[in-house]
Structure 1
Amino acid sequence: MASDPTPQTIPASNLDPGIAATLKRDDAGLVAAVIQQHDTGEVLMLGWMDDEALHRTLTTGRVTFWSRSREEYWRKGDTSGHVQYVKSVAMDCDGDALLVRVDQIGAACHTGTRTCFEGRVLPVSA
């Protein structure tokens, strides 16, 4: 007798169970996190968070991401000094994206630019 496939389980985390139940993660267990400068509205970058990265972001005052390439947690600014101090975190209406408003110190992009979108404007035809 074949057994039913086991549904994907959410890894254990210290994240509030109410928040965890509301999140809609991708197949890798991640949620997109848009990082925005709190006082200007400037969009700085996009990163990825799992439940533990979100928990660390909510409880430490610093933004923590999950690196998909290195498969490890990283905190913005630990090596560069370009720290992101958390001002607020909001979840979108579908629960599949986060808006993290920060006070960005220095460059947000690993290339050294203020935002990861600087100089990357694509042509749009109306």
Structure 2
Amino acid sequence: MLTEKQRLLFENLKGIKDTNVDLSVGIFHPESNIQWTDSDGAYQFLRNKLNSEEDLKALAVIQNELVEQVIYRILEMIDGYGGLNFEVDLIDQETKQSLRDGIQLHDKFMDHLYKNE
């Protein structure tokens, strides 16, 4: 069972994921006015290759999985897995309690996504 603050953390991480996937896919839509730095022409190159809604949906699936995995790996690192030789934590400044208490953040984040997508 998640605490309210753990749930809010996961909702905010999901919101970051959803917003950035939407933006990264939206830039390739033919009618998009979104402009990102494109010093080497990579966005324009892909915009010319992604010609259909099916192409954009496939890109969205890939982007979504990529962003989920990045968030998962960061939370996994906070949970104590990975290459850090020191411990890190997420502390609620109001209560001074760890958001890690009683859960593995990385696993519960993925559970949260599966239940809310």
More strand by share: 1
Larger radius of gyration: 2
Band the TM-score falls in, shorter-chain normalisation: under 0.3
More helix by share: 2
